[in-house]
Amino acid sequence: MIQIPKGCKDVLPAQAHEWQYIEDVARKTAASYAFKEIRTPVFEHTELFSRGVGDTTDIVNKEMYTFLDKGGRSVTLRPEGTAGVARAFIEHGLMGGVLPFKSYYLISAFRYERPQAGRLREFHQFGCELYGAAGAEADAEVISLADAFLKNLGLKKVELRINSIGCKHCRARYHEALKAYFTPHLAEMCEDCKARFAKNPMRMLDCKVEGCKKIAAGAPRMLDYLCEDCTAHFERVKALLTSAGVTFTVDPSIVRGLDYYSRTVFEFVSDAAGAQGTVLGGGRYDTLLEQMDSKPVPAAGFAAGMERLLLVMAAEGCLPKEEGGVSVYLAGMDAASREKSFLLAGQLRAQGISCETDLMERSVKAQFKYADKTGARYIIVLGERELQEGEVEVKDLRGGTAERVKLEEIVTYFKNKEE
């Protein structure tokens, strides 16, 4: 039997309401901050990610789904959403439009990783990107949007950690300090770290190899090397978050796994998601657009992993319950009443009332069982007598009551109930 590819998951109808709930909360929270949806392609030219996400990252070096299309072009399934949004922003000349540009997306993304709980090869993100604002208010706005989103989902035990990784000026000095620190340890470190040492020593702080991790734990911290402007920016972000009531801790070990960040970086973590503790991550990225041949545009954003959110929500007991089934179940007894049920169902549906009839030629008793199992609210049995009398009994399965209603008044009867 052909099975689902490794690291992918089906969402079956019984779980769909959980996804819809998160998406709904995401859309509403984004809208309350005046962010609008953007949709970009699932695949892009490979170069977008190698340049954007960074060619020293694990994502670009090891995890991309890259292939040649039939025209011989190298394309890649997006490993994240930021690079595509930045491309679209530049390509459509949106920097000439209304700024700040505020967008959000709900997407699937693809990384060839070793699957485990909360780590998939196809996963889903809710992300927000804000362009054009250089001040700390923009960082505080995206962080407080992320915070509001998690709170609106009912999560209480997710913690916010923030850090600053400086700008290209102060980072040059930091890179020298890192190199000085790592030089005597280099021989014991993995091959990847040796390559990172030359190209981007900060990536060595993010290595997943145990031996390298131990060495990296003693490395100098970027926070001690921030220039005056970056220090002032970070202080302002912290002050704004504090006055907005967003609780955080400063964690100097956060470097993030993508190359485009500058200044503020942040992660929302939970120990309920198992080893994959980061449910949401983001930061400021003022040089990405420039790297993509645009004029410089300051930017900040984040993305949350939907599968990890589901794990954390399950652990915190805030997953929504499935809503009831259809409003009205019409049970037919014979050919004529089944036909009438079918007709009535069409009229109810045309008024937006959800409605079902039997499609399996079941007995009335079996139809009752089905309506009960699927959570129908009302049931109406139609037989020879009802057709003759032109009147039916509407049973309220939740309230346990029943009312007699004329057949020609059924639609109005349910319309009134809806209001």
**What is the distance between the alpha carbons of residues 259 and 45, in angstroms, rounded to a whole number?**
18
Read off the DSSP letter of residue 201.
Answer: G
* Residue position matching structure tokens 């079956």: 12
* Least gap, CB of 300 to ligand HAM (angstroms): 7
Compare residues 302 and 414 and give the one whose CB is closer to ligand HAM.
302
- Which residue's Cβ lies closest to ligand HAM? 305
Q: How far is the CB of 81 from ligand HAM (least distance, A)?
A: 6
Nearer to ligand HAM, 18 or 386 (CB): 18
Locus of tokens 């657009």 = 289
Q: How far apart are CA 405 and CA 395, in angstroms?
A: 10
Contact 375, 288 (CB under 8 A): no
Q: Which is nearer to ligand HAM, 21 or 285 (CB)?
A: 285
Question: What would the two tokens of residue 101 be?
Answer: 């540009």
Inter-CA distances, 363 with 333, 354, 366, 369, Å: 7, 22, 5, 10
Distance, CA of 241 to CA of 243 (rounded, Å): 5
Least distance from ligand HAM to the Cβ atom of residue 83, Å: 8
**Smallest gap from residue 162 Cβ to ligand HAM (A):** 13
Q: Which residues pair with 301 in a beta bridge?
A: 129, 283
- Residues lying near ligand HAM in the complex (CB under 6 A): 80-82, 111, 113, 118-120, 123, 125, 127, 129, 257-258, 278-283, 285, 301-305, 307-308
If you search the block for the tokens 């410089």, which residue do you land on? 296
Q: Which is nearer to ligand HAM, 258 or 394 (CB)?
A: 258
Q: Which is nearer to ligand HAM, 189 or 258 (CB)?
A: 258
Taking the complex as a whole, the smallest distance from the CB of residue 301 to ligand HAM amounts, in Å, to 3
Nearer to ligand HAM, 81 or 100 (CB): 81
User: Residue 276 and residue 119: Cα distance in Å, rounded?
Assistant: 7
Nearer to ligand HAM by C-beta: 131 or 329? 131
Tokens 């109406």 locate to 380
Task: Give all strands of the β-sheet with 43-45 in edge-to-edge order.
Answer: 43-45, 74-77, 65-68
CB of 130 to ligand HAM, least distance (A): 9
Residue showing tokens 């399965």: 397
- Taking the complex as a whole, the smallest distance from the CB of residue 347 to ligand HAM amounts, in Å, to 45
Sign of the four-CA dihedral 92, 97, 99, 101:
negative
Q: How many CA atoms lie within 13 A of 327 on its CB side?
A: 15
Tokens 């780590």 found at: 119
Amino acid symbol at 38 = I
Measured from the CB of residue 33, what is the shortest distance to ligand HAM in angstroms? Answer: 15
For β-strands 264-269 and 159-164, DSSP reports them as: antiparallel
Of the pair 133, 303, the CB lying nearest ligand HAM is at 303
Sign, Cα dihedral of 6, 9, 12, 14: positive
Taking the least distance from each CB to ligand HAM, the nearer of 81 and 201 is 81
Q: How far is the CB of 336 from ligand HAM (least distance, A)?
A: 54
